[in-house]
Amino acid sequence: MNGVIPLNKEIGMTSSDYVYKLRKILHTKKIGHTGTLDPLVDGVLPICVGQSTKLVNRLTGSSKEYVGEITLGKSTTTEDREGDIVKEVKLTKPFSDEELHEVFEKMIGELVQIPPMYSAVRVNGKKLYEYARAGIEVERPKRQIHIYDFNIVGEPEFDTELGIQKVKFHVTCSKGTYVRTLAVEYGEFLGVPSFMSQLTRTKSADFNIEETFKLDEIRKMMDEDDHSFLRSTDEVLSYMQAHELSDEEWEVRVLHGGFLDLDNYDYDKDLRVTRNHVTKAIYKYNEERQLWIPDTMLLNND
């Protein structure tokens, strides 16, 4: 079994939990997810199976889309609703739509983030959340991210009694973006504490949430010997330029990890090479050698 499952992750389970359960459902060990989603976050989580596990890093590197909610007036230890409240400022009036829009626009483009302490980023071999749970503060590595789009969804809600304002949003961002931290930074621009009170990933690796499958659906489909939840490697990589291999190129070159001398392709983009129109490898162009060299081998893909 080879391909990618556009999984709909539900709240309460980790990404690793799904890998564990799918190994049993699909009766295969070769499974990998394409980027950690926190237990409180639901939505699109592409799962790679078989030969397609070699695409994990490629798919993880794609941009992501989310819809969520920022609560203004409080901040938490974990930057989301799971943590304890560490700061609270009762808002006496709501921020205007103009003020809210202005901050969203300011945050579009290149940003530098510091990952939250409650995250899976590793420092000296340990995950940051392990330090956080032990009460140890460590220096966290900065990372550069890109926000392609960030805007309000619907009407903000103001709670006069609690002194908080809730703002729903949509964001398109690069790999490695912590949306929890974006929510905190959004409040900082307004001069108030804030946290991310809800988050759903709506798109990842070109899979939209409308085309995803829940775990129970996959389990039922497997019982009926229906594998239509699985997207083929060829379908997932269909955006790439492709070259159909000749017998000589396949038997003499690609099968042995050899280079290819090909013209008429964009040298700045990866090249998918196929045998009987099935993807067998991904090649990159090497300017020094002026040849295409293998990057990812998918010889057993079918």
Give the model confidence (pLDDT) of 238-264 as tens digits: 999 999 999 999 999 999 999 999 999
Question: Does the annotation mark 234 as catalytic?
Answer: no
CATH no. for 240-297: 2.30.130
Q: How confident is the model at residue 75 (pLDDT cuts 50, 70, 90)?
A: very high
| CA atoms of 225 and 164, how far apart (whole Å) | 50
Q: Which CATH superfamily is domain 3-62+206-232 in?
A: Pseudouridine synthase (3.30.2350.10)
pLDDT in tens, 125-152: 777 677 777 777 777 778 899 999 999 9
Tokens 């749970």 found at = 133
Does the model's pTM come out above 0.85? yes
**Could you tell me which residues come within 8 angstroms of residue 227 by beta carbon, excluding any fewer than 6 positions away?**
1, 221
| CA atoms of 283 and 233, how far apart (whole Å) | 15
Cα-Cα-Cα-Cα dihedral sign, residues 12, 165, 65, 60: negative
Q: With 70 as the cut, is the pLDDT of residue 120 above it?
A: no
pLDDT in tens, 151-205: 999 999 999 999 999 999 999 999 989 999 999 999 999 999 999 999 999 999 9
Options 17, 38, 84, 302, the catalytic residue: 38
- C-alpha dist (Å) from residue 24 to 14, 31, 89, 226, 290: 16, 11, 48, 16, 46
pLDDT in tens, 46-64: 999 999 999 999 998 889 9
Q: How confident is the model at residue 276 (pLDDT cuts 50, 70, 90)?
A: very high
The answer to whether residues 1 and 49 touch, using CB atoms and an 8 Å cutoff, is yes
| pLDDT-above-70 percentage for the chain | 97
The answer to whether residues 51 and 234 touch, using CB atoms and an 8 Å cutoff, is no
64-203 carries CATH number 3.30.70.100: no
Looking at 84-98, 105-119, 196-210, which range is the least confident one?
105-119
Tokens 């239509």 found at = 228
Q: Bridge partners of 296?
A: 282
Q: With 70 as the cut, is the pLDDT of residue 118 above it?
A: no
Q: How many CB atoms lie within 10 A of CB 97?
A: 12
Whole-number pLDDT of residue 135: 76
Instruction: Please compute, for residue 136, the number of CA atoms within 13 A of its CA located in the half-sphere on the CB side.
Output: 11
**Residue spans per domain, the chain:** 3-62+206-232, 64-203, 240-297
The answer to whether the 3-62+206-232 and 64-203 domains have the same CATH topology is yes
